[in-house]
Amino acid sequence: MKAPLRTLAELVRAPAALSVPGDVVAGASAAGTLGPRSVGLAAASVCLYWAGMAANDWSDRELDAVERPERPIPSGRISAPAALGVAAGLTAAGLVVAGRSGGPRALAVAVPLAAAVWAYDLRLKNTAAGPAGMAACRALDVLLGASAGNPVRAVPAAAAVAVHTYAVTALSRHEVAGSPGPRLPAATLATTAAITGAVAARGGAPAAMLAGQYAAAFGRAQVAVVGDPAAARVRAAVGAGITALPALQGALSARSGRVLAGLAVAAAAPLGRLLARRVSPT
């Protein structure tokens, strides 16, 4: 029996995928290669992201039965083998689309990206290396967008997205029990401020505006956790970190001179927040 579309959307955290194409746009903007092939690379990136979400739930199925019984696998709305099949199928689709869109150079990044996604879900997630593992996935995603040109030019953008991802992932480890105190959210808030300052510096008015939008959206949620480190506040902050990412990606694109592309990417942020009310991005 096929799983309903809503169940599949929950399994892969569909709204969160709005935060993914911006990685490719930011990377391609930095490398000077933003163009038609970037659309295919963005589609490949979304497939790999969704694959990672499905693999995450398959890996966490026993833990979720205790902590999050409402998720698709423990609730019985989709079987564990079917979820694993979704993850494997989306991984294969992502690699095929990357190869067709960007050729061997894209595959040279997409294959390590897919490996990093699976390594995070199956091995790294619940270890001290978890946040770094997720940050590496996002950095590679940015470099996938730059694969048609010189990826070295996209390293600063990849680093900014990676540091943001590290902060969000560090918070996400306390979504169930809450943060043990204000120190962690205060540290991630300081990180957000540092990223904002670095991206806005010498980036021009559009980059500064979008960086400010990112800081406001994610920063408010982190301030709330500093004041009240309860699990619900942490989950809200993690969701805000995910849905605010397009604004950061837009700022990075604008800083590279692709202002219209940056504004288009940032437009996904409010849409992501709207859709997150229907399907959780975490």
Interval 26-40: pLDDT, tens: 999 999 999 999 999
Any domain includes 90 = yes
Any domain includes 269 = yes
How wide is the angle at C-alpha 58 spanned by C-alphas 160 and 124, nearest 5°?
Answer: 45
Any domain includes 19 = yes
Structure tokens at 152: 């070295």
Q: CA 108, CA 58: separation in Å to the nearest integer?
A: 27
Any domain includes 45 = yes
Q: CA 190, CA 203: separation in Å to the nearest integer?
A: 20
Q: Which residue reads 């390594």 in tokens?
A: 119
Any domain includes 4 = no
Higher pLDDT, 92 or 243: 92
Residue 50 identity (one-letter amino acid):
W
Task: CATH number of the domain at 111, please.
Answer: 1.10.600
pLDDT at 282: 61
pLDDT at 67: 87
How wide is the angle at C-alpha 21 spanned by C-alphas 216 and 187, nearest 5°?
Answer: 35
194-224 pLDDT per residue, tens:
999 999 998 899 999 999 999 999 999 999 9
Range of the structural domain that residue 27 is part of: 9-276
Any domain includes 2 = no
In the predicted model, what is the mean pLDDT of residues 74-82? 95
Any domain includes 88 = yes
Q: Which residue reads 């406001």 in tokens?
A: 216
> Is the Cβ–Cβ distance between 255 and 208 less than 8 Å?
no
52-68 pLDDT per residue, tens:
999 999 999 999 999 88
For the chain, the domain total comes to 1
Any domain includes 83 = yes
**Beta strands, E only, 40-139:** none
pLDDT band at 163 (very low <50, low <70, confident <90, very high): very high
The reported pTM is 0.92
Eight-state DSSP code of residue 280: -
Query: Has residue 103 got a pLDDT over 70?
Result: yes
